[in-house]
């Protein structure tokens, strides 16, 4: 059962909840503005009653303006970071996290690739990328050894964000891969060749996000073999931690047999509803297990986040001043500082 807590005064709507700022100090080589977007919103909200339309509009305008001024401030990693967004549990926010974190990084001057590895093609939909059956994409890369460069397309709304689309053809790939040589490492081979060529052409990618389907089949194994770090979304719900141990065991097996470089990079709490004790309890439990690996910026449950894909957009472009957009922006920034610190 979910125990409702009294919402803080003036915060009855989850859309007005404020997220915490980044946990880390930015590295020295980064030019920063004094306040982050979320901090500006938090200060504005403290000064005015956020429940009125006027104050909401003020909040929104300030947040958008602040986002514009902090753009291009995020630091580049020392080398391309390849992050696998995986959790075999369905509907926990893998795709939403992949596209929004990727868009936030690209909007701030970084070059980012999303590999859509889910036959549902949700990441491709959210980024307005053509992915009807037969469109060249991840299927061709995995099964037909098509060079990745031949299938990559740029996201129309977010310059600097590139996508390997997924089509329904991928649904058959799980079976077709079984009989192919080096079936677990086909994505790694293709991705590594593409990233090396881009770097040689002075067009190095900063981040790659691989959006996995909700299973631990050959598609996810290919992603785990290709990545260096995991980005694991955990939904703040009762069953959240069930299945996590299975995921961690799979990661351990992949480390031992296929990819010693793989590690749990970051865990992100999604669909966090600050009004419920359950969400706070799940968040506490995850933080006590995984400590600093859990990003301080939890993503709130937000209507804007769930609406954005139906317009073929990320929440960063759909409603840049919304709490959902700001939370993903904070999470993306935190990831870059975390990477800068740990690498
Ligand atoms: P699958 O396992 O099917 O690939 P997934 O883990 O990729 O799912 P998403 O598709 O990102 O999960 O999210 C599941 C649903 O929840 C979607 O309808 C999405 O719009 C919605 N959703 C995700 N994050 C939020 C959020 N913070 N607030 C509200 N709705 C959200
Ligand atoms: Mg998905």
One-character DSSP codes across 200-254: HTT---SEEEEE--SS-SHHHHHHHHH-SEEEEEEESSTTTTTTHHHHHHHHHHH
Q: Are 309 and 116 in contact (CB under 8 A)?
A: no
**CA of residue 78 to ligand 1 center, whole Å:** 31
**CA of residue 95 to ligand 1 center, whole Å:** 7
- Angle of helix 323-342 versus helix 37-47 axis, rounded to 10: 140
Distance between CA 34 and CA 40 in Å, rounded? 10
* Per-residue pLDDT, 241: 82
* Per-residue pLDDT, 51: 57
In this prediction, residue 62 has a pLDDT band, given cuts at 50, 70 and 90, of low
The closest residue, in CA terms, to atom 30 on ligand 1 is: 306
The domain spans of the chain are 33-70, 79-342
Distance between CA 179 and CA 176 in Å, rounded? 6
The closest residue, in CA terms, to atom 21 on ligand 1 is: 306
pLDDT in tens, 114-158: 999 999 999 999 999 999 999 999 999 999 999 999 999 999 999
> Which helix (H) or strand (E) is 72 found in, with range?
none
The closest residue, in CA terms, to atom 19 on ligand 1 is: 306
pLDDT in tens, 175-215: 999 999 999 999 999 999 999 999 999 999 999 999 999 99
pLDDT-wise least confident of 92-96, 177-181, 307-311? 177-181
pLDDT in tens, 237-265: 878 888 788 889 999 999 999 999 999 89
**CA of residue 146 to ligand 1 center, whole Å:** 30
- Which ligand lies nearest to the CA atom of residue 307 in the structure? 1
pLDDT-wise least confident of 68-82, 84-98, 223-237? 68-82
* Per-residue pLDDT, 242: 81
* Per-residue pLDDT, 45: 43
**CA of residue 93 to ligand 1 center, whole Å:** 4
The mean per-residue pLDDT over the stretch 225-236 comes to 95
Distance between CA 124 and CA 166 in Å, rounded? 7
Ligand 1: lining residues by beta carbon, under 6 Å: 90-96, 118, 122, 214, 270-271, 299, 301-302, 305-306, 309, 324
Which residue did the predictor score with more confidence, 46 or 244?
244
Q: Does domain 79-342 have CATH number 3.40.50.300?
A: yes
The mean per-residue pLDDT over the stretch 274-288 comes to 90
């Amino acid at each position: 059962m979910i125990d409702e807590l009294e919402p803080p005064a003036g915060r009855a709507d989850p859309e007005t909840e404020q997220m915490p700022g980044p946990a880390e100090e930015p590295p020295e080589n980064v030019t920063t503005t004094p306040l982050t977007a979320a901090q500006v919103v938090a200060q504005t909200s403290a000064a005015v009653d956020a429940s009125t339309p006027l104050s909401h509009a003020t909040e929104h305008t300030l947040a958008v303006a602040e986002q514009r001024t902090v753009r291009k401030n995020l630091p580049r990693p020392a080398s391309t970071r390849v992050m696998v967004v995986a959790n075999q549990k369905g509907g926990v926010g893998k795709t939403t996290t992949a596209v929004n974190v990727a868009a936030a990084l690209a909007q701030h001057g970084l070059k980012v690739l999303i590999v859509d590895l889910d036959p549902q093609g949700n990441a491709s939909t959210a980024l307005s990328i053509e992915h009807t059956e037969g469109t060249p994409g991840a299927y061709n890369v995995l099964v037909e050894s098509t060079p990745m460069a031949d299938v990559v397309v740029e996201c129309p709304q977010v310059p600097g964000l590139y996508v390997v689309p997924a089509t329904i053809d991928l649904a058959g790939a799980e079976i077709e891969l079984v009989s192919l040589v080096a079936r677990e490492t086909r994505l790694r081979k293709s991705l590594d060749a593409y990233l090396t060529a881009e770097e040689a052409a002075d067009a190095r990618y900063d981040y790659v996000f691989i959006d996995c389907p909700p299973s631990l089949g050959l598609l996810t194994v290919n992603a785990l073999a290709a990545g260096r770090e995991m980005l694991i979304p955990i939904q703040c719900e009762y069953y959240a931690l069930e299945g996590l141990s299975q995921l961690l065991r799979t990661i351990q097996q992949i480390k031992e047999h296929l990819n010693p470089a793989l590690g749990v990079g970051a865990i992100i709490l999604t669909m966090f509803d600050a009004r419920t004790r359950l969400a706070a309890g799940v968040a506490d439990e995850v933080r006590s297990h995984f400590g600093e690996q859990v990003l301080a910026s939890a993503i709130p449950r937000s209507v804007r986040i769930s609406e954005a894909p139906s317009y073929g957009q990320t929440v960063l472009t759909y409603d840049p001043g919304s709490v959902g957009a700001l939370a993903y922006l904070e999470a993306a920034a935190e990831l870059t500082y975390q990477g800068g610190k740990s690498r």
